[in-house]
Amino acid sequence: MNALVMNCSPVRTGATAEIAGIIAECLGKRFRVKAVCIDDFDFGFCKGCRSCHSTAKCVQDDGVGQVIADLDWADAIVLVSPSYWADVPGQFKSFIDRCTPWCNTHEPHAALKPGKRGYAVALRTGPSQKECLGIIGTIEHFFGHMEIEPRGRLALCSVECRKDAKTARRR
């Protein structure tokens, strides 16, 4: 089985990266794992042209195709996102917007291979899970339109920095 773990933060060395690394390491004991960071890919914003609604293709040819190839390769997809003002980071939101050609809300649409399972992980610095649940909702909404079955979720609170993630790991 193939598993993709994506750090949905543009910060490659922060708490989100640490959590994504822990997940990738654990999954690596049983699966082929590819770990990526949203910042590994160069892509532009959605232009809102709606061409993809009739062609099932984006007019832009950039790094989004690489991320889609990784999603298509994976059987299990783990998206790990921090809270940026109570929502996913802008870079990740821009990626979601660019996935409209694969979105099942219009025909024709491109599609990933069927049978994918998705897992949402959200973390934030504060103690309340409410913000994490909103982020998980965004990720699961994305999964739904990409026809990835949501199978699990994890909300991590009071994770301020990488050191906090490492401390949680030792428990």
pLDDT digits (tens, 9 = 90+) for 62-86: 999 999 999 999 999 999 999 999 9
Locate the domains of the chain by residue range.
2-170
How much is the pLDDT for 163?
84
What element of type H or E holds 150? strand 149-156
Q: With bands split at pLDDT 50, 70 and 90, how would you rate the model's confidence at 168?
A: low
Q: Is the pTM of this model over 0.85?
A: yes
Q: How is domain 2-170 classified at the architecture level of CATH?
A: 3-Layer(aba) Sandwich (3.40)
Distance of CA 114 to the CA centre of its chain: 18
Q: With bands split at pLDDT 50, 70 and 90, how would you rate the model's confidence at 148?
A: very high
Helix (H, G, I), strand (E, B) or coil at 166: helix
DSSP secondary structure code for residue 39 in this structure: G
Q: Which residue has 């739904």 as its token pair? A: 144
How much is the pLDDT for 102?
97
Q: With bands split at pLDDT 50, 70 and 90, how would you rate the model's confidence at 164?
A: confident
Write the pLDDT tens digit of every residue in 13-32.
999 999 999 999 999 999 99
Sign, Cα dihedral of 116, 77, 68, 149: positive
Strand partners, 37: 7
What element of type H or E holds 21? helix 15-27
Given the DSSP bridges, would you call strands 32-37 and 2-7 parallel, antiparallel or unpaired? parallel
Distance of CA 167 to the CA centre of its chain: 24
Residue 46 has pLDDT above 80, yes or no: yes
